[in-house]
Chains A and B, each alone.
Chain A
């Protein structure tokens, strides 16, 4: 065909059903599991807030978009387990770059990120999220503001990936990154080759969303981690409550 062969190449594309277009506002492309979206402030299962007002997130924030002030917990009606709680917590989403450093800095994993990043504002006041908007509701789910575009699944894995090694001081996890087991709502599936230790790190009372609940004291637990884990489990929850 010579010069005209190219015309057939383009003509053959007509009518082929090979569109990869996502009709964006109507449907969204699937998001990666660790996508950084809007933050949430998590609570324990008993309703206590995890934030202890330490201001590490504000200190680490490269965009200087987080403002935290801690205060002593009221003795008769504590907001968080422990001495202090986040009295004021603000994130300015006009500045936030969603780098997730706050999540990494947080010692109690109070702040995590959801997968939802499609939100916009018509005024600056709306862009500043306070505790009113950030704290999860009683089910551990993020609150959904009217200007945010939440779809199914975007609020689910709000728990953080614990990047520190040996989380919670368990010797079994020396040199291994692992999941922390008891974050806000839902637990992410572990990555490949981590399932064994992760499953042990998951407290028994947490039912994970993939349906295979774990029993810490079950006979099938690998013996080289179970004793340490039991201690860690007891320690942590004993201290918290």
Chain B
């Protein structure tokens, strides 16, 4: 009964927000032009957020989203959620640079570096095309992040899989690719060697999966939810994803096959080879994390695209006791997303499934989690420089550890967001 009333109030607030945004949209279609140097792009994302349910993980809670409610009442927040400055341009004829800075309203660093790499793309001498890049970047896992500064296209919130990639799987390394025509399509092989990603896995191990568009910067910390008594003594309530702890490089490999039919399939394997016993003086641990991701993109005609990814992996941290490291987490997630474009509008729907299983000696089944999420988004391209995205996200998950905050294990939550993305 309460849930029905809550949803009714969310819907009413949504209608009011929609009316206000529709009224203001024509004025926003032509934002002022900034006199920026060539190759420099600024992206400002104004956000109106309505949420209910539990406190967000970004605020010390167990909520699965970037935004959370006050425990039942609808919470309304309006602010620039992200401001990004991207420089992407040629350095020499076969070299390009890419540097992106981001200010995100709920991160500890007011401005942080989110990408910085140089790409080498020599002119092909044969049908085989080679390229390489060096610097700080996200490995090529996500099928959803196709915009500048690694933004999601057509939606606000990425899937659980790519939310995690955005927050923890960022490397400083060297990557090489070779692409060759095959049977009317193209096959691409990619190999990467990297460091500074030894703590990747801490968020999945301690918090589990989440769905949000916050991206980790080079110097940012990410908050952790309330830990159990043992872990409170071993780990501060935050993690730094971009750390090198053991001087052992990690690696990844990817094989992508674009078929003659409008179908692209890819397989990606990552292992950071982190030392689970490596630890810094401020108790940031190495996490031995590996995972396999399978992805597919299918173009169903000219206007409809189906995206799917499935990821499975494991991570371990801490000393071994009774045959198990302190934390041993197995994680799995998958999503299916459909986007249909009609003129300036794009309608998207996505279904996510996720779970984590704990078998460590100090983190047990009360931190197991399973859940699902349903996301629907409408993207309205007002002009080539302004875009209005309206998105509704329902997430439902069960985790015994919520008892640490006096909550029932099973929680559900609605997050309705309207984003005005301006490219200046």
- Tell whether A pairs with B: no
**A-contacting residues of B (Cβ < 8 Å)?**
none
Taking beta carbons and an 8 Å cutoff, which residues of A are in contact with B? none
